[in-house]
Amino acid sequence: MKILVVGGGGREHAIIMKLAESPKTTELYCAPGNGGISRYAKCFDVKATDIDGMVKLAKELQPDLVVVAPDDPLVLGMVDAMQAEGFKTFGPKANAAIIEGSKIFSKDLMKKYGIPTGGYEIFTDSASAIAYIKAQNTYPTVIKADGLALGKGVILAQNEEEAVEAVKEMIDNKKFGESSARIVIEEFLTGPEVSVLSFTDGKTVVPMISSMDHKRALDNDEGLNTGGMGTVAPNPYYTEEIAKTCMETIFKPTIEAMQKEGRAFTGCLYFGLMLTPNGPKVIEYNCRFGDPETQVVLPLLDSDLVDIMLATYEGNLADIDVKWKQESAACVVMASGGYPVKYESGKEIAGLDDKGQTAGVFVYHAGTKFADGRFLTAGGRVLGVTATADTLENALAKSYKAVETIDWEKVHYRHDIGQRALAAKQG
Ligand code: AMP
Ligand code: GLY
């Protein structure tokens, strides 16, 4: 099979490496891809959000499967456009991707179907929102832009001033354009966070191995929110008992709810969960694989990803046995200094071989360019250095050992990826 993967980050690199393991795969294409991906798949310079351009590329390449990985093309309807041309796809149609594309849609869905999540109100004018915040007078409070906002649409306001500022920025100053014309003000939840990605064909839902993201830029969860500075899998807080509860109260009800709404979700549905003192609750849904969650989850998959992806399209996921390795995985993200705010690109990366690798681990490329036999930085998050091992401790040790062999000017990474998970295991 010829397979086209849309996207160009660490997540797409991880998807491509897993697809490459399948005996069914004959050719791998990626658009736009990146330097690291280009060593394993033929890359094409088409933007992930360019629906017409991507359809045109698909018509030229005639892939047997198109995997749409990032959120924006999914929300914009790339899967619909590919299917209209007769291509098989992995990923939800636009009417289902809205589960990530509109926080108001997802909150209302959860309310309607009794799926546990934080209490909330919706606002379209700042005066009412501010009056509500003052009347509630409870902090922290959570303010979310309705639409996609490059992962920056969530503000955890510590006091009235911050909350009022966030509301004004989003609604009055249109910080995220139409995405923040409507906002959700949400109850602040506490507890360990767990990411659970799942495969679904719209009827059957198969959760993948759980993982833990590290969203803050600096050690000890300090600094700004990022796309994710590292991940580990499995997540030790996510016990078998909690997994059962989530299946009955969240996973199945969500899939059924989407079906009842005439929006059957196919592809990867990501459940962002908070294990609160009152049980697991949904913080957010994503309509796609997480990044960098995918870099620790897919290496532990012990089944053929091509078969699974085709089954989500054909609607026979129930017939597939999805197996996992009994190991742990750790991914340490190496980023450009200054990320997620201002950073430089084009720095030569030392310590990688011509496949973009270093010994003992797998290096997923998130933002690199390959030119004249050298890898250059080309983004905020640059590499995801990933190891699997019998224990989490060993996986982390392998990852960090490899991280120390890679270097560039102003490289930045967290030194404490997995420490909370290790403490939870021991506690
Ligand atoms: P998101 O951009 O939706 O992934 O949210 C970013 C982060 O904000 C989440 O990973 C949580 O850590 C935090 N968050 C979102 N909603 C809530 C909430 N209701 N209560 C507490 N923290 C939250
Ligand atoms: N790592 C979080 C996300 O992919 O949204």
pLDDT in tens, 56-70: 999 999 999 999 999
pLDDT interval class at 295 (50, 70, 90): very high
Q: Which CATH class is domain 328-426?
A: alpha beta
Average pLDDT over residues 237-248: 98
Q: Whose CA is nearest to atom 3 of ligand 2?
A: 290
The domain defined by 2-94 folds into: Rossmann fold (3.40.50)
pLDDT at position 75:
97
Q: 328-336 and 411-412 as β-strands: parallel, antiparallel, unpaired?
A: antiparallel
Residue 99 CA, ligand 2 centroid: distance in Å: 15
Ligand 1: does its nearest atom lie under 6 Å from the Cβ of 207?
no
Between the alpha carbon of residue 132 and those of residues 127, 135, 307, 424, the distances in Å are 9, 5, 50, 37
Ligand 1: does its nearest atom lie under 6 Å from the Cβ of 215?
yes
Ligand 2: does its nearest atom lie under 6 Å from the Cβ of 32?
no
Residue 355 CA, ligand 1 centroid: distance in Å: 36
Average pLDDT over residues 390-401: 98
Q: Which residue has the higher pLDDT, 148 or 234?
A: 234
Q: Whose CA is nearest to atom 7 of ligand 1?
A: 154
Between the alpha carbon of residue 235 and those of residues 96, 153, 213, 239, the distances in Å are 27, 25, 9, 8
Ligand 2: does its nearest atom lie under 6 Å from the Cβ of 230?
no
* Nearest atom within ligand 2 for CA of residue 228: 1
- Ligand showing the shortest atom-to-Cα distance for residue 191: 1
Ligand 1: does its nearest atom lie under 6 Å from the Cβ of 188?
yes
Of 8, 13, 105, give the one whose Cα is nearest residue 294: 13
Name the CA radius of gyration of the chain, rounded: 21
pLDDT at position 161:
97
Ligand 2: does its nearest atom lie under 6 Å from the Cβ of 290?
yes
Residue 165 CA, ligand 1 centroid: distance in Å: 18
Ligand 1: does its nearest atom lie under 6 Å from the Cβ of 154?
yes
Average pLDDT over residues 136-163: 93
pLDDT interval class at 150 (50, 70, 90): confident
Residue 101 CA, ligand 2 centroid: distance in Å: 14
Q: State whether CATH 3.30.1490.20 applies to domain 120-186.
A: yes
pLDDT at position 277:
97
Residue 230 CA, ligand 2 centroid: distance in Å: 11
Q: Whose CA is nearest to atom 12 of ligand 1?
A: 193
Residue 394 CA, ligand 2 centroid: distance in Å: 24
165 burial level (CB within 10 Å; 0-12, 13-18, 19+): middle
CA 150 – CA 188 distance, rounded (Å): 21
Q: Whose CA is nearest to atom 1 of ligand 2?
A: 291
Average pLDDT over residues 116-131: 97
Number of other CB atoms surrounding residue 27 within 10 Å = 13
pLDDT interval class at 151 (50, 70, 90): confident
pLDDT at position 242:
98
- Ligand showing the shortest atom-to-Cα distance for residue 152: 1
Mutation to probe ligand 2, out of 196, 288, 291 (largest number of atoms < 8 A from CB): 291
Give alpha helix (H) positions in 286-418. 293-297, 305-314, 392-403
pLDDT interval class at 360 (50, 70, 90): confident
Which pLDDT tens digit goes with each residue over 170-183? 999 999 999 999 99
Ligand 2: does its nearest atom lie under 6 Å from the Cβ of 358?
no
Query: Is 80 exceeded by the pLDDT of residue 93?
Result: yes
pTM: 0.97
The C-alpha angle 387, 393, 396, rounded to 5 degrees, equals: 35
Q: State whether CATH 3.30.470.20 applies to domain 193-319.
A: yes
pLDDT interval class at 411 (50, 70, 90): very high
pLDDT at position 144:
96
CB 55 within 8 A of CB 81: yes
Tokens at 203, concatenated: 């009827």
The domain spans of the chain are 2-94, 120-186, 193-319, 328-426
Average pLDDT over residues 17-31: 98
Question: Cis bond leading into 280, ω under 30°?
Answer: no
